[in-house]
Chains A and B, each alone.
Chain A
Amino acid sequence: MKNWPLWEVFIRSKNGLEHRHCGSLHASDATMALENARDVYTRRMEGVSIWVVPSAQITASNPENNGETFEPAMDKAYRHPTFYELPDELKHM
C-alpha cells in the first residue's frame, strides 16, 4: 500500500456551496479513493458530495518564486473594491 498514489479530496458541505479541499489520502484507483474519502472525511456528516483528484494532476506554484509571484500585489490596496459606496440594500459583498 506504500505504492498507492496520493489523492486530494474535495467535499461539498451542503448543496449550493462549493467543493472545498479538505485533505488527502492514499488509494489504488479513483473508486477506492472515493470510498476512502467517504470513510475518512465524511464520518461526521461533513458532506453531501465528494470529488477526488490525483495529487499528481495538480500543478502548483513554486514556493521559491513566491517573491515575484505574490509580493507585487502587496502594495496595491486600490485593487480591493473597498473604495465604492455600496447601497444599503446590497448584502454579502
Chain B
Amino acid sequence: MNNNLIQYIYGIADNSLILGQRLGELCGHGPSLETDIAMTNISLDLFGQVRSYFQYAAKLIGGDATEDTIAFLRKEREYKNVLLVEQPNQDFTYSISRQFLFDVYHLLLLSELQNSKDETLSAIAKKSIKEVSYHSRFSSDWIKRLGDGTKESHNRIQTAINDMWIFTDELFHQTDADKAMVAEGIGVDVTLLKASYYKKVSSILEEATLQTPSIEYFQKGGKQGIHSEHMGYILTELQYMQRAYPNMIW
C-alpha cells in the first residue's frame, strides 16, 4: 500500500469534496434559480470527480475500504483539503470569490496532472478538465460582472476577495506526500504553479476593475489536517447519514 499516494489523492480530492459540500448547501438557496442550478451543477461535477479519486484510493487501501468509507468515515484531522474551500458561503460574493480563487488553481493543477505517470490520475485529470474549464469561466465571468457592476457590487466583491485572499498561499504549500509524489513523477509540483496562478488571478481582477490584495500574511493548516472552526460543522452534515445509519445505501 503506497501511503504517500493515498495521502496525495486525499490532498486533491478533499478539496473537491468539501467545496462540493459547500456548494451543495446553496441548493434551493441560490440568489436566483439560474445561479442556484449553476452552483449545484458545479457541486455535482466536483462530487463526480471525488468519486473517481476515492474509488482509486479505496482500491489502493484494499480490505473493506470503499469510496463511501473514505468520504464519510474519516475524522476531521484526516481530511487534507485547504482552508479556502471550507470557508462559509455568507453571501454570493463570498461563494463566487472562493470558487474563482479555487478554480484558477484547480485548472492549473489538472493541466499538469494530465502528465502524471500514474495512469489513473492522469485519466481523471483529462476527464475533469472540461468541467473545471467551465467552472473557471463561470466564476471569472461573475467576478467581472460584480467588479465592473454597480458601486455596491464592486465594494462587496472586493471585500470578499480581500477576505479570501489569506487562504490562497496554502494552495502552493507542499506536504511530505506531495514531495514524494513529485519525486516519483506522479504528483504535480504546486510550487511551480504559483506564479501563473497569481498572474491569472490578477489579470481577471484587473479586468473586473478590482484591486489585487497586497496582503502578506497567509493562513495555512488544512493540508496538514488542521482545519478552521467551520470544518466540524461541514463534516457533521456530510457524515450524518453514515454515522446515524452505518453502512446504509440507497
Give residues in A with beta carbon < 8 Å to B: 1, 4, 25-28, 31-32, 35-36, 39-40, 43
Are B31 and A1 in contact, CB atoms less than 8 angstroms apart?
yes
Are B145 and A28 in contact, CB atoms less than 8 angstroms apart?
yes
Are A39 and B141 in contact, CB atoms less than 8 angstroms apart?
no
Interface assignment of B34: CB less than 8 Å from any CB of chain A: yes
**Contact A27/B141 with A39-B41, A43-B41 known, Cβ cut-off 8 Å:** no
Are B37 and A43 in contact, CB atoms less than 8 angstroms apart?
yes
Shortest C-beta distance, B60 to chain A (Å), equals: 32
Shortest C-beta distance, B167 to chain A (Å), equals: 26
Shortest C-beta distance, B211 to chain A (Å), equals: 24
Q: Which residues on the B side are within 8 Å of A28 (C-beta)?
A: 145
Shortest C-beta distance, B134 to chain A (Å), equals: 8
Q: Which residues on the A side are within 8 Å of B35 (C-beta)?
A: 36
Are A25 and B34 in contact, CB atoms less than 8 angstroms apart?
yes
Are A1 and B32 in contact, CB atoms less than 8 angstroms apart?
yes
Known: A32-B141, A32-B145, A40-B34. 7 other contacts (CB 8 A): A28-B145, A31-B141, A35-B137, A35-B138, A35-B141, A36-B38, A40-B37
- Residue of A4, A27, A43 with most partner-chain B CB within 10 A: A43
**Contact A39/B31 with A28-B145, A31-B141 known, Cβ cut-off 8 Å:** no
Interface residues of B in 17-59 (CB under 8 A from A): 31-35, 37-38, 41
Are B37 and A26 in contact, CB atoms less than 8 angstroms apart?
no
Q: Which residues on the B side are within 8 Å of A35 (C-beta)?
A: 38, 137-138, 141
A39 to B134, CA, bound (A): 11
Interface string of B124-151 (1 = CB under 8 A from A): 0000000000000110010001000000
Shortest C-beta distance, A4 to chain B (Å), equals: 8
A26 to B32, CA, bound (A): 9
Are B34 and A39 in contact, CB atoms less than 8 angstroms apart?
yes
Q: Which residues on the B side are within 8 Å of A31 (C-beta)?
A: 141
Q: Which residues on the A side are within 8 Å of B137 (C-beta)?
A: 35
**Contact A26/B41 with A31-B141, A35-B138, A35-B141 known, Cβ cut-off 8 Å:** no
